[in-house]
Amino acid sequence: MPSAWSRISALARKDADEVRQQPGLILPAAAMIVGLSLPAFFLLLVAPRLLGEPLADSDFAEAAGALARQVPELGRLTLEGQAQAFILQQFLTFSLLVPVLGSLSLAAQAIVGEKQARSLEPLLTTPITVAELLVAKVLTPFVLSMVLLAATHLLYVSAMLAWGEPGVWKTLFWPRTLLIYLLLGPLLSLAALLTAAIVSSRVNDARTAQQLGGFLALPVSGLFVAQLAGQFLLGVGALLTTALVLIVVNVALLWIGVRVFQRETILIRWK
């Protein structure tokens, strides 16, 4: 008998092969990286030049200064650099939407596509377990979401190296930043993909699953707006608490997913 991992990787590779045949699924995700990064670059780099008003003179500078008193690395930057770093940190939360929204279409298509092609029943005749099936169906979109997240990070670092104040790019490697990219990003992405997979079992239209999975974008957007309006930054403790909540959410979604993905349920109830 093959191992669970060999079955999961065989099916996930198959999904990846199918994605490669459909550039229409990947291009919007790639476009999303640019689209969601533009507001940050506009606020950080374009608006101050257009208006002739440096960020050091804006309301952000005061909040950044307060933060600089707690974070020595920030204190070493120029005033403009401090404001840039502060705004950049606020936008990091917003950038989490890139992997979530970019990979949802893939997760939805991975299930709905099998239903439409009537290829689920043959698949279920193999020794793959339902948990393996669920993991395999989420794996390819998850890997893509992580690539998108890494690409977003690279874009921010490159832009700040090219046009930012000296040293600002280094703030993109702060523990807070890494916590967002390496812990919150994957957890949020996984929750969205599991939601899309579960919803896909009940609908025949990938877009419906995508839209419902996209509900997870709402708390992220809310957090971003709250940060921007209140001009505060969530600390490491708050981010860790959020990660803990997301772990619980993911465990619950996995539990629901395995129940929804029972062979009999798929054959009898999935339409």
- Binding-site ranges for other proteins (CB under 8 A): 1-2, 6-7, 10-11, 13-14, 17-18, 21-22, 117-129, 263-264, 267-268
Q: Tell me the closest approach of the beta carbon of residue 247 to other proteins, in angstroms.
A: 30
Considering the complex, state which of residue 40 and residue 110 has its C-beta at the smaller distance from other proteins: 110
Q: Tell me the closest approach of the beta carbon of residue 11 to other proteins, in angstroms.
A: 7
Q: Tell me the closest approach of the beta carbon of residue 129 to other proteins, in angstroms.
A: 8
> Can you tell me the distance from the alpha carbon of 78 to that of 166, in angstroms, rounded to the nearest whole number?
8
**DSSP string covering 33-100:** HHHHHHHHHIIIIIHHHHHT--GGGSHHHHHHHHHHHH-HHHHTS-HHHHHHHHHHHHHHHHHTHHHH
- Return phi, psi of residue 170, to 5°: -65, -25
Considering the complex, state which of residue 9 and residue 231 has its C-beta at the smaller distance from other proteins: 9
Q: What's the token pair of residue 47? A: 């608006």
Instruction: Please count the other Cβ atoms lying within 10 Å of the Cβ belonging to residue 55.
Output: 23
Single-letter code of the amino acid located at 223: L
**Where are any strands of DSSP class E within the chain?**
none
Considering the complex, state which of residue 123 and residue 143 has its C-beta at the smaller distance from other proteins: 123
Q: 217-230 and 79-95 are packed helices; what angle lies between their axes, rounded to 10 degrees?
A: 160
Q: Tell me the closest approach of the beta carbon of residue 201 to other proteins, in angstroms.
A: 16
- In the block, tokens 């008998």 appear at 1
Considering the complex, state which of residue 136 and residue 188 has its C-beta at the smaller distance from other proteins: 136
Considering the complex, state which of residue 170 and residue 263 has its C-beta at the smaller distance from other proteins: 263
What's the first-to-final CA gap in the chain, in angstroms? Answer: 31
Q: Tell me the closest approach of the beta carbon of residue 55 to other proteins, in angstroms.
A: 49
Single-letter code of the amino acid located at 66: A
Q: Tell me the closest approach of the beta carbon of residue 145 to other proteins, in angstroms.
A: 21
> Can you tell me the distance from the alpha carbon of 191 to that of 250, in angstroms, rounded to the nearest whole number?
5
Considering the complex, state which of residue 19 and residue 217 has its C-beta at the smaller distance from other proteins: 19
